[in-house]
Structure 1
Amino acid sequence: MPSSRDRQRRLARAKLDRQMARRAATLRQRRRLQAGIGVVVALLLVGAGTAWALGAFDHKPKATAEDVCTWTPVDTGTNPNAKDVGQPPTTGLPTSGTRPMTITTNQGGPITVQLDLAAAPCAGASFDHLAGKKFFDNTKCHEITAEGAVRCGDPSGTGQGGPTYSFYNENVPQAPAASPSASPAAKQPPAYPAGTVALTGTPPGTNGSQFLIFFKDFSPSSPAYSVVGKVTAGLDVVQKIGALPTVDNGSGAKVKPKNDVVVQSLTVGPPETAASASDQPTAPAPGTPTGVPSGSPAASASTRS
């Protein structure tokens, strides 16, 4: 008959076996759980990799148009000469190429201008907006300046008028560099050659609708006007206006044309690229017979003669 000590040993052994069995079962369960988690993680990684390859994680920010121009409001209470015709858009404005502008006056014409959209995009946008509102139609060029320019674009004719917005300078020429040793032959070109179209504001830098068309060269020591374009045809009309006699404009300055110079209409055409401009027919060289291409032998012979 087994002793009490042997029975205790058997019970302890059985208890230990049960504990080991439970531990083994727990370990097997843990391994199965870990294996399952591993499979899930692997599947998730494969799915994520596929989604990444297909561009699911390419977060492209939504494109937003940036402002090209900023228009500063002008209060009609502060300036009663301002005329409200709204403001041009600030985005989606052309910033390259040119734009044709045509000015018809009671002094002849028309005067055609090429607006430079690359150098002065806001001026181009403003002219286009105002012309579309017939802002300039039947207005007077109220001044012939001592600088050699005809000043137009103010419906009030006071020199203080314009739209209910202004904008900053864009294309002001640099001041001429001082060069004491420079010879007369090395004279610098004028900042505002005849035919230049520039904006002028009061005070300077607050541009609106008033513009200058220079009928002679002007070279100030400190240029202040934004160059916005150039006359391509009709400069003789501008020079004719510039030669008109002037009278007192009411402030003691004899700058007002004695005979009214009226802008009957001002229109602005669609933007043009360099390619479209090159498609236009060019004028024949002086002395070239009509119908003879400028590069032909006949044209060369005509030029030499």
Structure 2
Amino acid sequence: MSKKTHQQQLAARKAQRQAERDAERRRQRRMLAVTLTAIAAVVVVIVGLFVVLGNNGDDTPAASDTPSPSQSAAAPGPENKPKTIPTALAAAPKRTTPLASEVDCTYKKGEAASKPVNPPSNGKVKASGTSKVTLGTSIGDLHLTLDSALAPCTVKSFLSLVGQKYFDNTSCHRLTVGAGLQVLQCGDPTKDPAAQGSGGPGYSFNDEVYPQLKYGRGILAMANSGPNTNGSQFFIVYGDASALNPAYTAFGTVDADGLKAIDKVANAGVIPGPQGGPTDGRPYIPVEIKTATAAA
């Protein structure tokens, strides 16, 4: 075999090996492309399933004892929740010196009412007896016992508002969860969340307090903006209220089951307001008063 022929054969074999290597690389690239396509398809299927299941979960919340929180609100952190809630019921408040059998009540007209309502009539009211009121709410029924021996003018006003459906379809706009002040505040029919806390029935009446008055779990009392400014807003003490001075008219109590429902709301935390700090704001789980009814 001539030298030239040998070189030609070597060149041919080299070219063949190069062609085989090129073909193998092309085959591997094709296989890699197929694999990546398959992986991408699996990812698309998984993401699709996640989206579908996720949307179904959001649109159809699971049944629970309490309503779902606002989807637009960030979940409260530990600083927005109570560290502890006392579970022992406070003793129902009693006046150390009983009132006279009848007292004079005066309801003074003030700013425009947040919801149309007539003020109670002025005059004598019996300072004895109890009345039952049920608040049908989004977290269950809250059963109230109003005590006219404690605050007859307050009880008369509250029953008048209940009878006129003033509290129907309103929300409890404020929750406090800090040490020394654990209350749920309701009674303002204002619909704008930014303005809630300033509304009232268009009239006011005097405080019915006494120096020995103390607050604790289960006490029902009037909110106010200063002395003798009672209107429609009230609060339920569900836990610690050691920070409160006897400046808020206590006029009844709330049942134990109702307080347990409020505990769930409190433990879910608050959405802090602009001025109240991390432990004071709207409840993360909304509390809506659907109806308020007095026992016949």
- TM-score > 0.5, shorter chain as reference: yes
Rounded Cα–Cα distance in structure 1 between residues aligned with 2:247 and 2:284? 27
Amino acid at match of 2:295: G
Summarize the Cα distance change of 1:128–1:82 in structure 2 as closer, same or farther, 3 Å threshold.
same
Rounded Cα–Cα distance in structure 1 between residues aligned with 2:148 and 2:163? 17
Amino acid at match of 1:209: S
Matched with 1:240 is 264
8 Å CA contact retained: 2:217, 2:239? yes
Summarize the Cα distance change of 1:260–1:228 in structure 2 as closer, same or farther, 3 Å threshold.
same
Residue 164 of structure 1 pairs with residue 190 of structure 2: no
8 Å CA contact retained: 1:246, 1:257? yes
Return the offset for 1:251: 4.7
Q: Pick from 216, 224, 229: which aligns with 1:201?
A: 224
Matched with 1:112 is 143
Moved more, 166-175 or 254-263: 166-175
Rounded Cα–Cα distance in structure 2 between residues aligned with 1:244 and 1:198? 23
**Larger-Rg structure:** 1
Amino acid at match of 1:149: V
For normalisation by structure 1, the TM-score amounts to 0.56
Summarize the Cα distance change of 1:172–1:255 in structure 2 as closer, same or farther, 3 Å threshold.
farther
How do 1:209-224 and structure 2 match up within 5 A? 209-220=232-243, 222-224=245-247
Matched with 1:127 is 158
Q: Which runs of 5+ in 2 are unaligned?
A: 1-101
Matched with 1:228 is 251
Residue 258 of structure 1 pairs with residue 284 of structure 2: yes
Rounded Cα–Cα distance in structure 2 between residues aligned with 1:240 and 1:123? 29
Rounded Cα–Cα distance in structure 2 between residues aligned with 1:132 and 1:221? 30
SS at match of 2:104: coil
SS at match of 2:268: coil
SS at match of 2:286: coil
Rounded Cα–Cα distance in structure 2 between residues aligned with 1:252 and 1:118? 34
Return the offset for 1:105: 0.9
SS at match of 1:83: coil
- RMSD, aligned CA: 2.2
Matched with 2:122 is 90
Higher relative contact order (CA 8 A, sep 6+): 2
SS at match of 1:93: strand
Return the offset for 1:98: 0.6
Rounded Cα–Cα distance in structure 2 between residues aligned with 1:221 and 1:140? 23
8 Å CA contact retained: 2:105, 2:124? no
Amino acid at match of 1:262: E
Moved more, 191-200 or 92-101: 92-101
